[in-house]
Structure formats: structure tokens, C-alpha cells
């Protein structure tokens, strides 16, 4: 019982801490890539407390719900966006043995199902806002999320065939460094599709600020807006962690197994930095380019990888 309570506390702590770390890193990394300083005042030392200050400010903001909005749906959407990412963290192994929230045999299946809930939250937010721009943003997001679900699932299936298990710890245990080469296309496809699933640039057409104000987030203010933003950063953590666990060997690396958790965190952090970097370096894709990349590029490539994996795994 105590063990379970400790694990749950660990998962919740990771959920509250890691997205803030990624957010602060984004502030500073983006700033320096663009020749700025970023936040410098809050907390005195290089603005380390900026996000805490933001949180305090958001908590004191008036709760605004447009009169035309569908109230219950509008209010529920932030929770629906946020909670699935918390649940995903339960299945991500930090290290070998017991360092995982839940060792469910079909962990990978559950994780992908949870990531797929994102589309529901976006449609709820966009539709309930009763605003033309949010509606267009939500429809764009729905089309994008459904399309990229396929390469995501197919790439994950490829690694499941290679490892012969759906248990995330089992996949890391079966992982071998040469998979970096053999599963490289799947890894790339999974990461790109993951980026699209969390609607990060260059796949941020659903919230394109120059076309749609702020997409499906336009009508949100105060704490509900903050929760939706937290969901975005939790999404970065989840996609980075899943990619490192499935394709980069998770806790495996030089050094003793007892330091494995450090490897998982390092790989997750490095991939999160890549997500931030892409936001600075890439222009936004058009809606039709997003669909074309998925259906004409990623889906056929993922199917090819699945065939290759099956053949090699059986040979």
C-alpha cells in the first residue's frame, strides 16, 4: 500500500515539475537562440521563478466564460486535456525493476489510447467556445490529430513486434543499441507524429496566431487557460519520454543500472530541447501540407518499417 502511494506521489510530482522545467527551458533556450535574454527578473537569478510568478498570477485571475459558450463543456475541456498526460506518466519506466508506476502488460496500448484523447479535448474546447475561429482551429486540430494517430500507432507497433511485448519496461529490456539503426525510421516517424499530436510547431496550424487569433484557445482566460498551456508542456514531456523509452533505450546507457533513471531523464530532456529547437527553427506548415506529409509520407513509410521489422524479427 505504502509502495503504491509512493509511486503515485512520484508520478504526480513528475507531472507537476517536469512540464515547468520544460517551460522554463523553452523561455531561456528560445530567447538565446533568437539573441534575447528571456525572463531575467523573477527570482533574481536569470528569472528562474518566472513560471511560478505566472502561476500565482493566473490563480488570481477572474474566471471568464463567454455568455454564448456551452458552459459545462467549456469548463470541462482543460481537465480532459490535462488528465490523460498525467495517466501516461504512470506507465513510463524511469529505471529497471520497480522504478515504474504500473507494469501493466498492455502498457503501450493504454498509453497510445490515452494520447488519442487529446482530440476530444480540442474539439470540446473549440466547439464549446461558440467562436468561428475556435471552431476552425478545432476542426483543423481534429483532422491533424486523427491523421497523425496512424503513423504514431504503426511506428509503435513496429517496436512492439521487435520487442515481442507491449510492456514498456519489457520493451526497454529487449532493446539493443543496433535498434537505433534498424528502428531509425520508426523512431523518426514516432517523434514527428508525436509533435503533430501535441500540436507543436511546425504542426501548430490549429492555433496559428496569424490566421486564427489563438485557435481553439482563443476564448480561454485565467486559470483554465493556464491549465491548457500546462497540458501542452506535459504533452512535450510525454512525447519525449515515450520516444526515449520506446526507441532510445530508456534507462540503458554506460554506467551501473542504479543510475538508469538518470539516463531516462537525460534522454527525455534532450528530446524536449529538440522540440523547443524545432519551434524556433521551423516555419509553420500549411493545413494541406500537414495532411500530405502524413498520408503520402509518414503512413507509407511506417507501413514499410512494419514489414521490415516483421521480416527481420522472424528471420
Partner 1 sequence: MNSSLLGDYAVFGVLLLAGFAFVAVAMTANRLLRPHAPSAAKALTYECGVDPVGGDWAQVQIRYYVYAFLFVLFAVEAVFLFPWAAVAASFGPPAAAEMGVFVGVLVLGLAYAWRKGVLRWQ
Task: Check residue 143 for interaction with partner 1 (CB under 8 A).
Answer: yes
Please choose, from the candidates 166, 163, 197, the residue with its C-alpha nearest in 3D space to the C-alpha of residue 182.
Answer: 163
Task: Check residue 12 for interaction with partner 1 (CB under 8 A).
Answer: yes
* Between 49 and 113, CB nearer to partner 1: 113
Select the residue interacting with partner 1 from 111, 115, 124, 160 (CB under 8 A). Answer: 160
Please choose, from the candidates 135, 91, 141, the residue with its C-alpha nearest in 3D space to the C-alpha of residue 120.
Answer: 141
Task: Check residue 210 for interaction with partner 1 (CB under 8 A).
Answer: no
Which class for 213: exposed (0-12), middle (13-18), buried (19 or more C-beta within 10 A)?
middle
- C-alpha 280/C-alpha 203 separation (Å) is 13
Task: Check residue 297 for interaction with partner 1 (CB under 8 A).
Answer: no
Stretch that binds partner 1, among 38-46, 150-158, 199-207, 258-266 (CB under 8 A): 150-158
Task: Check residue 194 for interaction with partner 1 (CB under 8 A).
Answer: no
Stretch that binds partner 1, among 39-47, 195-203, 241-249, 294-302 (CB under 8 A): 294-302
Minimal distance in Å, beta carbon 212 to partner 1?
Answer: 9
Minimal distance in Å, beta carbon 269 to partner 1?
Answer: 23
**Cell numbers of 159, please?**
517496436
Select the residue interacting with partner 1 from 164, 180, 184, 258 (CB under 8 A). Answer: 164
What's the distance, Cα to Cα, between the start and end of the chain in Å?
45
How far CA 44 is from CA of 18, 47, 156, in Å, comes to 21, 6, 44
Select the residue interacting with partner 1 from 130, 262, 280, 308 (CB under 8 A). Answer: 130
- C-alpha 261/C-alpha 276 separation (Å) is 23
* Between 157 and 271, CB nearer to partner 1: 157
- C-alpha 70/C-alpha 202 separation (Å) is 31
- C-alpha 169/C-alpha 187 separation (Å) is 17
Number of residues located near partner 1, criterion CB under 8 A: 77
Site for partner 1 in 40-69 (CB under 8 A): 59-69
Amino acid at each position: 500500500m505504502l509502495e503504491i502511494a509512493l509511486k503515485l506521489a512520484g508520478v504526480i510530482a513528475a507531472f507537476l515539475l517536469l512540464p515547468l522545467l520544460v517551460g522554463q527551458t523553452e523561455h531561456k533556450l528560445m530567447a538565446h537562440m533568437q539573441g534575447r535574454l528571456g525572463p531575467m527578473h523573477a527570482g533574481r537569478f536569470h528569472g528562474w521563478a518566472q513560471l511560478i510568478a505566472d502561476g500565482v498570477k493566473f490563480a488570481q485571475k477572474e474566471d471568464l466564460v463567454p455568455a454564448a459558450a456551452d458552459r459545462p463543456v467549456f469548463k470541462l475541456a482543460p481537465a480532459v486535456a490535462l488528465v490523460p498526460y498525467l495517466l501516461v506518466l504512470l506507465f513510463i519506466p524511469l529505471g529497471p525493476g520497480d522504478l515504474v508506476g504500473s507494469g501493466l502488460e498492455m502498457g503501450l496500448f493504454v498509453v497510445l489510447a490515452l494520447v488519442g484523447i487529446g482530440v476530444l479535448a480540442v474539439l470540446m474546447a473549440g466547439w464549446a467556445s461558440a467562436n468561428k475561429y475556435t471552431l476552425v482551429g478545432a476542426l483543423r486540430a481534429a483532422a491533424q490529430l486523427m491523421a497523425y494517430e496512424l503513423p504514431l500507432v504503426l511506428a509503435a507497433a513496429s517496436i512492439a513486434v521487435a520487442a515481442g511485448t507491449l510492456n514498456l519496461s519489457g520493451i526497454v529490456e529487449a532493446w539493443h543499441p543496433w535498434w537505433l539503426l534498424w528502428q531509425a525510421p520508426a523512431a523518426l516517424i514516432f517523434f514527428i507524429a508525436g509533435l503533430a499530436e501535441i500540436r507543436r510547431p511546425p504542426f501548430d496550424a490549429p492555433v496559428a496566431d496569424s490566421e486564427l487569433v489563438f485557435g481553439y484557445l482563443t476564448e480561454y482566460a485565467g486559470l483554465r487557460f493556464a491549465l491548457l498551456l500546462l497540458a501542452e508542456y506535459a504533452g512535450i514531456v510525454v512525447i519525449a519520454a515515450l520516444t526515449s523509452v520506446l526507441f532510445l533505450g530508456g534507462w540503458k546507457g554506460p554506467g551501473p543500472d542504479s543510475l538508469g533513471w538518470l539516463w531516462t531523464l537525460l534522454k527525455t530532456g534532450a528530446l524536449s530541447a529538440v522540440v523547443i529547437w524545432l519551434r524556433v527553427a521551423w516555419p509553420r506548415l500549411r493545413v494541406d501540407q500537414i495532411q500530405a506529409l502524413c498520408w503520402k509520407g509518414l503512413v507509407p513509410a511506417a507501413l514499410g518499417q512494419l514489414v521490415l521489422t516483421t521480416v527481420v524479427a522472424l528471420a
